[in-house]
Amino acid sequence: MTLFNSNGISRRGLLGVFAATAAVAAPTYSNAFGFLRGAGDVRRVRMYSGRTGESIDTIYWIDGEYIPEALGEINHFMRDWRNDKVINYDARNLDVAAAAHRLMDTSEPYMMLSGYRSPETNAMLRSRSRGVAKHSLHMKGQAADLRLSSRSVNQMYKAAMACTGGGVGKYTRSNFVHMDCGPVRTWGS
């Protein structure tokens, strides 16, 4: 099912999303899980880092179980690239990103601009920009700033919002969408 047309989300696509959500209730946490259940109980993340040149394409969840080895690879991939600090990245945010990706019906991997940020990196970025939160969920490994060249920021934003799995920020001028697994909220222009 293609969710997007040239004007954004198609009416048919949106109705299909709501029908799928009603038919398959999310077991816990958010609608993101419900959207992923139609994937045959397999969850996959496909990303590359514009900062390090690394890429990841891995199945991290099968039939109700996260795969520890895959999560370990993801933790390393999502690390703070400025100082190589690694934490256990919150798998719930992977679920939000994977669900949004699936809704957009694209095989293009996300470009990950920012995953985990150490407190030191966050403080440095905050000193340079008003757009960096003092208590950013990036510092907890619960957020990612993502981009797709095949989808507009608005399309990504709408897909992430449809998952109702956390915060979604739209950064049109910088051409990325922030997705996190914190409280459900939206912002940006």
pLDDT 10s digits, 155-182 = 999 999 999 999 999 999 999 999 999 9
CATH number at residue 174: 3.30.1380.10
Report how far residue 47's alpha carbon sits from residue 49's, in angstroms, rounded to the nearest whole number.
7
| Residue 34 banded pLDDT, cuts 50, 70, 90 | low
Domain tally, the chain: 1
Residue 131's pLDDT is 80
Residue 33's pLDDT is 52
Which is nearest to 77 in space by CA: 51, 101, 95? 51
- pLDDT tens profile 74-128: 999 999 999 999 999 999 999 999 999 999 999 999 999 999 999 999 999 999 9
Percent of the chain with pLDDT over 90: 72
Residue 185: exposure state from Cβ atoms within 10 A (0-12, 13-18, ≥19): exposed
Residues in the chain: 189
| Containing structural domain, residue 48 | 4-188
**Phi, psi (5° rounding) for residue 22?**
-70, -35
